[in-house]
Amino acid sequence: MKLLKHHILIIVITFFVVNIHAQKVYVTKTGEKYHKSNCRYLKQSKKEIKLKDAVNTGYEACKVCKPVKKVTVNNNSTRSTTTTKSTATQCTGRTKSGKRCKRKTKSANGRCYQH
């Protein structure tokens, strides 16, 4: 009886691990996050990829739609996709009058949403 329970437990765990790796998430062309299919940030563009591929590529979980946050990566280590807080810097873009934009951004390219 104990052996049967042990086998059932292994099958259930395997099912969940396979499900996580086969789960589909969505990314945008320019974004750094992965999302659920119904996330509000996917209105303009979305590309479906596997969760495992998104994590291996460096995408992080969206804080709005909250997709799966922990995934087992190929090297059998658990990688958390929670982000560390990055500091906002002033946008490097220029306004029509030639002055520097005053908005703050956390984007890697140094520009705000408008530039």
Per DSSP, the three-state class of 94 is: strand
CB 25 within 8 A of CB 36: yes
110 HSE (CA, 13 A, CB side): 4
Strands 60-61 and 33-34: parallel
Per DSSP, the three-state class of 26 is: strand
User: CA-to-CA distance for 61 and 80, rounded, in angstroms?
Assistant: 9
Q: What is the mean pLDDT of residues 74-92?
A: 60
Q: What is the mean pLDDT of residues 85-101?
A: 82
User: CA-to-CA distance for 90 and 31, rounded, in angstroms?
Assistant: 19
How distant, in Å, are the alpha carbons of 17, 26, 73 from that of 21? 6, 14, 9
pLDDT given for residue 73 in this prediction: 53
- Confidence class of residue 83 from pLDDT cuts 50, 70 and 90? very low
3-state secondary structure 72-88: ECCCCCEEECCCCCCCC
Q: Which two tokens stand for residue 73?
A: 């990566």
pLDDT tens for 17-67 read 545 456 889 998 888 899 998 888 887 788 899 988 888 888 888 988 888
Taking 50 as the threshold, does the pLDDT of residue 69 lie above it?
yes
